[in-house]
């Protein structure tokens, strides 16, 4: 990826007589190893055209040629796209098992007709997530915390371990803030308890809860 991005940036800059960075962020390749993390990454990637406004709805996304979503739903090209892992992830080895329907239902869970609220850069309105949190059917404060940690980490594109490790890059801090804000606003978990679970000082946790949008 380093070779590809560097080579294309040089080609593009030479062609258009420009200089400087072409891509906004460095390429990242977090390890997908937690249960459910693969699903969140797949949904994040396939909803990108909807989130950016290239397509107006999830239905329109099924006809958009530049994402793997169309092949998953309708089959056909590109033939090289492997869906075996998704079939296992969404429960079933053959096309008649209902795994495609399970996948589509999962994709639509947080999508809206114009964009989706699945991947916030910051958490401006935690109440937007109330229905989804309730629909998870979670029991116990720590189960709520760990589930939100996994989901938000995936949706921000960083491993949960990185969120807990004190990494200070912008994306990780936003994910950490999102976990704290959602747990604080949607559950009865205290900031002190959240700080202990996240391995940070209570004062730092309070700062993150009260900072940003």
Question: What is the C-alpha separation between 25 and 188, in angstroms, rounded?
Answer: 36
Predicted local confidence at residue 129, as pLDDT: 46
Give the domain extent around 111.
29-117
Q: Please tell me the predicted confidence (pLDDT) of residue 111.
A: 59
The pLDDT value recorded for residue 15 is: 92
Quote the CA–CA distance of 120 and 131 in Å, as a whole number. 16
Is 132 in the same domain as 62? no
Do 113 and 132 sit in the same domain of this protein? no
Distance CA 66, CA 63 (A): 9
Residues in the chain, total: 213
Tokens (6 digits) for 151: 């989901």
- What pLDDT was estimated at residue 126? 43
CATH number for 197:
1.10.1750.10
Per-residue pLDDT, 110 = 58
pLDDT, position 128: 44
At 116 the pLDDT is 42
- Quick one: pLDDT at residue 120? 38
Do 137 and 102 lie in a common domain? no
Residue with tokens 């959602």: 182
Output the CA–CA distances (angstroms, integers) from residue 52 to 45, 48, 49, in the order listed.
11, 6, 5
Count of domains for the chain: 2
Series of mean pLDDT values for 10-residue runs along the chain (213 residues): 87 90 75 72 84 84 87 82 80 65 77 41 42 47 79 82 76 86 78 82 85 66
**pTM tops 0.95:** no
Assess whether 169 and 94 both reside in one domain.
no
Expressed in percent and rounded to 5, the helix, strand and coil fractions of the chain are: 55, 0, 40
Choose the final residue of a domain: 52, 83, 117: 117
């Amino acid at each position: 990826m380093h070779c590809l991005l560097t080579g294309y940036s040089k080609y593009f800059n030479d062609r258009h007589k420009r200089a400087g960075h072409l891509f906004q962020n460095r390429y990242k390749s977090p390890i997908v190893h937690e249960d459910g993390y693969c699903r969140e990454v797949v949904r994040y990637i396939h909803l990108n055209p909807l989130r950016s406004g290239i397509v107006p709805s999830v239905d329109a996304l099924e006809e958009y040629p530049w994402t793997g979503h169309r092949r998953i739903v309708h089959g056909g090209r590109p033939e090289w796209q492997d869906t075996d892992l998704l079939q296992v992830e969404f429960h079933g080895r053959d096309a008649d098992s209902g795994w495609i329907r399970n996948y589509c239902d999962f994709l639509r869970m947080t999508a809206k007709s114009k964009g989706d609220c699945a991947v916030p850069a910051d958490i401006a309105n935690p109440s937007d997530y109330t229905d989804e949190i309730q629909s998870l059917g979670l029991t116990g404060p720590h189960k709520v915390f760990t589930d939100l940690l996994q989901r938000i980490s995936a949706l921000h594109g960083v491993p949960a371990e990185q969120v807990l490790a004190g990494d200070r890059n912008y994306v990780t801090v936003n994910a950490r803030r999102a976990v704290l804000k959602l747990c604080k606003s949607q559950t009865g978990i205290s900031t002190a308890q959240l700080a202990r679970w996240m391995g940070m000082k209570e004062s730092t946790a309070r700062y993150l809860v009260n900072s940003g949008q």
